[in-house]
Structure 1
Amino acid sequence: MIAMQYSFTLPADYDMAIVRRRIADKGPSLDHFDGLLLKAYLHATRGEQSAENLYAPFYVWRDSEAMQRFLGSPGFAALTQAFGWPSIRCWQVWDAYLSPQARQARFATREIRPIAPYAALDALRDEAREALHRDTERGALAAVTAFEPTTWSWVSFRLFDDMPPHPSAGQHYDVGHVSQP
């Protein structure tokens, strides 16, 4: 599995209703995209929960072929015409809990942490797995932990139907739609 995210930082005075309308109109179009295990249409409004206005979808793909099919699709081309050419972050998934109830998610958190040089990756994965289980017990509807060895970082992504009970560091988002097979 591959986790993927791109993020568009929008001007401070940007009308975020435009993003919410786009999500409502286009979100269901990927509900049955072959190879997509989850897409959370995320946005954040500058203020309490975010330093910036953001549109930042988060994906979990079955494999690289499915991801490539999406990136070569007319839908992705239309997105780039509307918002620009994004830098895309990709992580190899360590663990994922993707419940069917994830479709009801209204909030998301994403934290990216550096991996120290010479870190024991198995121990780090075990620590991330324990956090994933703890978060699902506390109500996370979906939880993903993944890493990438180019810049040596790992990501912790969670979806919730209510504001997370124990807010984490990192970025907080509102969820406009969740596509899931």
Structure 2
Amino acid sequence: MIAMNYRFVLPADYDMAVIRQRIASKGHLLDGFPELEFKAYLYADIHSQTWPATQNVYAPFYLWQGSGGMRQFLCGPGFAVLQGDFGRPDVLSWIPLCQHVSTSVQQARFAVRELSAIPPSRPLAELEQQQLQWLGEQQQRGALASISAFDPQRWQLLRFTLWAAPLALHSQQEGYEVGYLAQGQAARGTA
């Protein structure tokens, strides 16, 4: 598994209806994509009545079964169009320590992303055990998907969750609305 995310921070006066329309017209194009568990089309809108943000952001998040699907997407025409429209983003990726995706994941309307540094003194086996406990806690709280992953280049921990309703955020967390959730062949069992 590979978690992947990129973000475009947009001007404060950007019309986020353009992003919502882009998601509505293009979101379904990744349904059935090879090796894709899901793609959450995320956005944050400073004018949202539901979950106001501090900045306008378009930030798709992916969970891949393997690198083949990720490569196919990044080298394909859809990503080329995205680059033409917004420029080439820094594509971040993480190796999952643990993950759970509910059969009800299509009900996701909100996402929370949290990044933190992994101290050099922290044993990774200990971190993995802690994240398994965190995963269980998120399931008990009603998360529709929970992913804990790490980047061994930046030594960064990612915690990502999908929810049916918004919740209170902590200072290190970023909240997003989910415009669409595409599920690939991996999730549909049609690989």
Regarding TM over 0.5, the answer is: yes
Could you list the per-position Cα deviations for residues 36-64 of structure 1 after superposition, in whole angstroms to 9, with x for gaps in the alignment? 00110000012664321000000000111
Q: How does 1:15-164 map to 2 (within 5 A)?
A: 15-46=15-46, 49-164=52-167
Distance 2:56 2:68 in 1: 31
- 1:167 aligned to 157, 166, 169, which one? 169
User: What is the identity, as a one-letter code, of the residue corresponding to 2:110?
Assistant: F
TM-score by length of 2: 0.90
- Give me the CA root mean square deviation: 1.2
TM-score by length of 1: 0.95
Distance 1:15 1:49 in 2: 14
Could you list the per-position Cα deviations for residues 99-156 of structure 1 after superposition, in whole angstroms to 9, with x for gaps in the alignment? 2211110000000010001311111111111111101111100010100111100100
User: What is the identity, as a one-letter code, of the residue corresponding to 1:103?
Assistant: Q
For structure 2, the 5+ residue unaligned runs are none
User: What is the identity, as a one-letter code, of the residue corresponding to 1:167?
Assistant: L
Distance 1:83 1:136 in 2: 35
- Any runs of at least 4 consecutive aligned residues in structure 1 with deviations exceeding 6 A, and if so which? none
* Contact kept in structure 2, 1:49 and 1:171, CA below 8 Å: no
Distance 2:42 2:148 in 1: 17
Residues paired across the two proteins, number: 180
* Contact kept in structure 2, 1:97 and 1:143, CA below 8 Å: yes
SS state at 1:100 partner: coil
For structure 1, the 5+ residue unaligned runs are none
